[in-house]
Amino acid sequence: MSKRRERDRRRLTVVEGVREISHALAAGLVPSEVYICPEYCDEEGEQLIMKLETFAADQTAIFAVTPAVFAKIAYRGESGGLLMTIPYIALPLAQLALSANPFLVIVEGVEKPGNLGAILRTADAVGVDGVIICAGGTDLHNPNVIRASLGALFTVPIAEADTGEMIQWLHDQGIQIVAADPMATSYHMDAVLSGPVAVVLGSEAAGLTPQWLQAADISVKIPMFGVVDSLNLSVATAVMLYEVVRQRLNRTKL
């Protein structure tokens, strides 16, 4: 389960560590399997084991394993002696529940698990209706994404779809597509973002593909005045999403 191929084959996400498992349980997720290595558990871990043993016991298989076995299935070492699996959580587009004024973030070809996890944290903070991932990139179910998201992977609705399907779905829903493009002529704070909106960002290395740039209702850039020519993707996402929040808050004051 430490390898993506095995996770994809079984359609299971690995959640390891006391903090991460606690977040998943708090979000109402039911584990498929739980693996416990008593030799690695501290007092906090033992308390969580007691909870796991009574939590959805009829739906969850619990295994006690040796340190040698745990080392083979864990992704990051000892992990507090606790690891569980949950079914893949990404939704099809049709199952995303949209609010009356939809607010989405779309990321294309994210390269680093840490970036995707940080984007999910920001998405949770601003209250998006969903995060949509397209064009592959890093594995959504990589344990490092879970760790970097601080549990937001379990609280933010997430969908995966190909670009063409996504663009058509956004048009059908009447949602404005706003592309982040460093070559744009308009700044992000000059665009009207208070209505139904999907903010779309590409990878740090390549940016958005032409398919997204052509489909966008508007392309915007973030002002930059230094020597470097790009921001970290998670930082750029936060700047864009909080501009949407700012405009929506201002509109409610009118």
CATH of the domain at 62: 3.30.1330.30
Same domain, 106 and 229: yes
Query: Residues 6 or more apart from 47 whose CB is under 8 A from it?
Result: none
Q: What is the CATH number of the domain that holds 121?
A: 3.40.1280.10
Range of the domain at 136: 93-253
* 209 Rama class: left (phi>0) / alpha (psi -120 to 50) / beta: beta
Determine the Cα–Cα distance for residues 159 and 173; give it in Å rounded to an integer: 15
- What residues does 143 pair with on adjacent strands? none
- Give the closest residue to 34 by CA, choosing from 44, 43, 50: 50
Q: State how beta strands 82-87 and 12-16 pair.
A: antiparallel
Length in residues, the chain: 254
Q: Is 139 helix (H, G, I), strand (E, B) or coil?
A: coil
At what angle are helices 233-253 and 113-126 packed, to 10 degrees? 10
- 61 in helix, strand or coil? strand
Query: Angle CA(92)–CA(105)–CA(3) in degrees, nearest 5?
Result: 60
Helices (H), the chain: 4-10, 18-26, 43-54, 67-73, 113-126, 143-149, 163-173, 210-215, 233-253
Listed residues 70, 87, 104: the one ending a domain: 87
Tokens standing for 215? 């489909």
63 and 167 housed in the same domain: no
Assigned token pair, 167: 């663009």
Q: What is the pLDDT of residue 55?
A: 66
Q: How many domains does the chain have?
A: 2
Last residue of one domain, picked from the residues 64, 87, 110 = 87
- Domain check: are 106 and 163 in the same one? yes
Structural contact between residues 134 and 160, judged by C-beta atoms closer than 8 angstroms: yes
pLDDT for position 76: 75
For residue 209, the one-letter residue type is T
State residue 233's pLDDT score. 95
* Largest Cα span, the chain: 63
Q: What is the pLDDT along the chain (254 residues), one digit of tens a residue?
A: 667 777 778 888 889 888 889 999 888 888 989 999 999 998 888 888 888 777 656 778 889 999 999 988 888 776 789 999 998 888 999 999 999 999 999 999 998 999 999 999 999 999 999 999 998 778 888 888 998 998 899 999 999 999 999 999 999 999 999 999 999 999 999 999 999 999 999 988 889 999 999 999 999 999 999 998 789 999 999 999 999 999 999 987 65
Pair (83, 115) in one structural domain: no
Among 62, 87, 112, which residue terminates a domain?
87
DSSP calls for 70-82: HHHH-SSTTGGGE
**Pair (102, 206) in one structural domain:** yes
3-to-14, 71, 111, 133 alpha-carbon distances in Å: 10, 13, 17, 20
If asked whether residues 152 and 76 sit together in one domain, one would say no
**Within this chain, do residues 239 and 167 fall inside the same structural domain, yes or no?**
yes
Let me know whether 157 and 70 are in one domain: no
Residues 74, 176 within the same domain: no
